[in-house]
A and B are shown apart, each in its own frame.
Chain A
Amino acid sequence: MTTLPASTQKKLGLVIDLDTCVGCHACVVSCKGWNTENYGAPLSDQNPYGGDPSGTFLNRVHSFEVQPDEGAAQLIHFPKSCLHCEDAPCVTVCPTGASYKRVEDGIVLVNEQDCIGCGLCAWACPYGAREMDAAEKVMKKCTLCVDRIYNENLPEEDRQPACVRTCPSGARHFGDLADETSDVSILVAERGGFDLMPEQGTKPVNKYLPPRPKDTMEEFDILAPYLEPVAKDAGGFLGWLDKALDALPGGAK
């Protein structure tokens, strides 16, 4: 059914810390690695070693430069995948019922056997979270690693999304955002987690934590007076060489 559930028992999702993300793209690689050989159709590449490579990814890391009114610009790495929205526009537009939002945990999934590959759900998503696989011709999206998080064949520490498990800087967190006492909910409350494009009215479950304010240091150098050049003009051989070279045409004056 492509009508959305009025509410879900859990709201499983990710909290992504823009302060700690170092832009290494390890989450992108581990996501593709896990999801190309597990849930649903593989994530194909087209012309991967040619001049115009392209492929299906469920998670991509952008890098933005943010220029404050004063001071130096900041570089912010920005991982982006499905936000498992409460009011997911991608689900309601689906004509076949292939797209659905699970009542038990709020994960948005695609039943690939029902997908006709019309692409309308990708059009409806403001975040670019859905990509049509060029080989399988079905819509692919983040499953929140639904085949890991409940998988009792995996050691307990691996029962989280591949991107979260692999992140070397601890910038990605997974949990239930409906539970106010969960680690992720506390993190969001403490760090002022925010929604992407709130004006689109999608009510994303995934939250982003803003970069912490940069430290500012006053210009102060205790050694500066002692480090001023002692000799202004070189004498002797070096002085002669300096003048001789200056006299030659070309070079910086």
Chain B
Amino acid sequence: MHPAPSIILFTTLSGLGFGLLTFLGLGMPGSTGFTAFVFFTIAYLLAVGGLLFSTFHLGHPERALKAFSQWRSSWLSREGICAVAALVIMAIYGIGRVFFAQHWGLIGGIGAILSLLTVFTTSMIYAQLKTVPRWHMPLTSPLFMALSITGGALLAGQVQFVIPLLILSAVTQVAYWVVGDSRLAQSGSTMESATGLGHIGKVKAFEPPHTGTNYLMREFIHVVGRKHATKLRAIALVLGFALPLIFLTLPFGHIFALLAVLCHVAGILTSRWLFFAQAEHVVGLYYGKR
């Protein structure tokens, strides 16, 4: 799949933002006044900023309101509804914390659940696609959720949760990669099943339908990035999980906390880039490519 920067930024940043909102909704940290204002501002910048990035890949963003209508069948529609609901509920809760020094636990709890649900719906947009076997598996949602909660805990400064969550996320990430590597082969989709010509013999793409490229090839067939996949996986693990763990076990200092956050975000961006670049769409089989 084509790793579009707008979608990578959107899923990474809004994942972090909704992760932070989850912790804020649960009263961790339970600060009020200006400190709470800073926390909520960071969370909203990330969550809303991410959502704004996602509109950059739309052909007609001016029609985006229509996307709230098909929640019965569409995970993308459900994501939009959950995101807006979470942002509205958390805004009410945030007003209480910032201006009235009140912790409205029920509203915060509902906001936290909606924030997590938003990340889940995002993950389901990918996990539902049978056409991309690497995404269509039970580990895709846990990966998105684990990364979001870990990033949220890190931003919320919940050090007691961050260390176990970083380890959990790293394990989920590695499991996602290991299981994902065999998903295309397990899907049963081959050039033979794609063409129905397997009963005659081995199928090979002889001539593509056109001399140039096309939308399908640009969108679904991405070969260049996979070349360095192993190195990038190592970089993602070191930046995303190993370095933050080291920084957080050092004597506490704001500079180390900042470094941990920056490293983690860079690592997750790398991982998310691989999430797209490594994913094979079965339509590539018609072109003899992955």
Say whether B129 faces chain A, with CB atoms less than 8 Å apart.
Answer: yes
Check A174 for interface membership: any CB of B closer than 8 A.
Answer: no
Are A198 and B193 in contact, CB atoms less than 8 angstroms apart?
yes
Restricting to B44-80, which residues have a CB under 8 Å from any CB of A?
57-61, 63-64, 66-70, 72-77, 80
The docked-state distance in angstroms from the alpha carbon of A242 to that of B210 is 50
- Chain B 28-55 against A: per-residue CB contact (8 Å), 1 yes, 0 no? 0000000000000000000000000000
The answer to whether B197 has its CB under 8 Å from any CB of chain A is: yes
When each residue 201-212 of chain B gets 1 if its CB lies under 8 Å from chain A and 0 otherwise, what string results? 111111111111
Cβ–Cβ < 8 Å partners of A75 in chain B? 206
Note all chain B residues with C-beta closer than 8 A to A96: 63, 66-67, 69-70, 77
Q: Does A9 contact B (CB under 8 A)?
A: no
* Closest A residue to B215 using CB positions: A131
Tell me whether A155 is interfacial, beta carbon within 8 Å. Answer: no
Q: Which of B12-20, B244-252, B279-287 contacts A (4 or more CB under 8 A)?
A: B279-287
User: Contacting A28 at CB < 8 Å: which of B77, B193, B200, B209?
Assistant: B209
For the complex, give the distance between the alpha carbons of A3 and B57 in Å.
25
User: Is A123 a contact of B132 with CB atoms below 8 Å?
Assistant: yes
Q: How far is the CB of A58 from chain B (nearest CB, A)?
A: 12
Bound form: Cα–Cα A197–B213 in Å = 23
A interface, over-half SS: loop
Contacts of B125 in A (CB 8 A): 93, 120
Q: Is the CB of A118 within 8 A of B58?
A: yes
Give the distance to chain B from A32, nearest Cβ to Cβ, in Å.
Answer: 11
Question: Closest CB-CB distance, B264 to chain A, in whole Å?
Answer: 28
Q: Of B59, B189, B202, which one neighbours A117 at CB under 8 angstroms?
A: B59
Q: Which residue of A2, A56, A78, A125 is within 8 Å of B70 (Cβ)?
A: A2
Would you give the shortest CB distance from A207 to chain B, in whole angstroms? 10
- Asked if A22 is at the interface of the complex by the 8 Å CB criterion, the answer is no
Is A229 positioned at the interface, with any CB of B under 8 Å from its CB?
Answer: no
B76 touches A89 (CB 8 A): no
7 closest Cβ contacts across the A-B interface? Answer: A117-B59, A137-B59, A60-B209, A68-B201, A95-B67, A95-B77, A96-B66
Q: Can you identify 10 A-B contacts, CB atoms within 8 angstroms?
A: A2-B74, A54-B212, A65-B205, A89-B131, A95-B70, A97-B66, A116-B60, A117-B59, A123-B220, A128-B283
